[in-house]
Amino acid sequence: MKPEQQEKATPGRKRDNAAHAAILKATHELLWDVGFDKLSIVEVASRAGVGKATIYRWWPDKSALAMEAFMTRVAPTIAFPHTDSALDDIRVQAHRLGRAYRGDAGRIVRTIIASGISDEKTMKLFFDGYLAPRRNAAKEVFKRAAAQGEILQGLDLELVIDALYAPFFHRMTIMHAPIDKRFVDFLLDSVLSFIASEMPKRRDSD
């Protein structure tokens, strides 16, 4: 491509990036306003100021769009920190997750799971786009904890992650009890004391 052609192509790419960002922003807002089940491509297009064809250029359906928008919004708020203590990082992240699931993020996850029960594609998108990356991130932190001697070596990390995080989803979907600080601390103390040679010191969280 000649330099003058590159210069002419650049504005188009910028406009595409702007449209992409506007679509994700509109989807964020609608997910928080109406939830996943009532989200529609028509409403996203209207709020973003684009045509439906522009949305379908990048996402095959509303589930794929909602998953990317949700991840873009939520992932930074529930990320693991990286300090000298992997166990401290696990505790901080678990409390971050608790705060997210007590709010709108929990409501949205609940509606996505409900839709996924009857729609295999939505459930697969939820697992591949949200759960799998979160589980992989958790595995890395637990591996770091083992390498640092904070927990036992050779643990089945799939089981450890299920033991720690599955109760979050239970309370979030059944809604029989809150995902409060006491609940999160109890989970952390129960799971981490079982896999550590001695009771890990609790780090206070907000």
In this prediction, residue 16 carries a pLDDT of 83
Q: What is the CATH number of domain 72-195?
A: 1.10.357.10
- What is the number of other CB atoms lying within 10 angstroms of the CB of residue 120? 9
User: Length of the chain, please?
Assistant: 206
CATH fold of the domain at 3-58: Arc Repressor Mutant, subunit A (1.10.10)
As a whole number of angstroms, the distance between CA 181 and CA 188 comes to 10
Task: For residue 153, report the phi and psi dihedrals to the nearest 5 degrees.
Answer: -80, 155
What local confidence, expressed as pLDDT, does residue 10 receive? 43
Q: How far apart are CA 206 and CA 195, in angstroms?
A: 25
**Tokens at residue 188, please?**
């952390």
Question: Residue 140: which residues within 8 A CB-CB, separation 6 or more?
Answer: none
Q: Where do the domains of the chain lie?
A: 3-58, 72-195
What's the pLDDT tens digit per position in 108-164? 999 999 999 999 999 999 999 999 999 999 999 999 999 999 999 999 999 999 999
pLDDT for the residue numbered 201: 57
Euclidean distance between CA atoms 26 and 152, whole angstroms: 45
Q: What tokens does 24 get? A: 């994700």
Q: How far is CA 185 from CA 29, 79, 99, 106, 200, in A?
A: 32, 18, 13, 19, 12
Residue 118: C-alpha distances to residues 59, 88, 124 (Å): 21, 38, 12
User: Would you say the CATH fold of 72-195 matches that of 3-58?
Assistant: no
What is the DSSP annotation of 14-32?
Answer: HHHHHHHHHHHHHHHHHHH
Amino acid at 168: F
The pLDDT assigned to 9 comes to 41
Give me the half-sphere count of Cα atoms (radius 13 Å) on the Cβ side of residue 37.
10
Q: How far apart are CA 206 and CA 52, in angstroms?
A: 42
* φ, ψ at 15 (rounded to 5°): -65, -40
Q: What is the pLDDT along the chain (206 residues), one digit of tens a residue?
A: 444 444 344 444 455 889 999 999 999 999 999 989 899 999 999 999 999 999 999 999 999 999 999 999 999 999 999 999 999 999 999 999 999 999 999 999 999 999 999 999 999 999 999 999 999 999 999 999 999 999 999 999 999 999 999 999 999 999 999 999 999 999 999 999 999 865 555 555 55
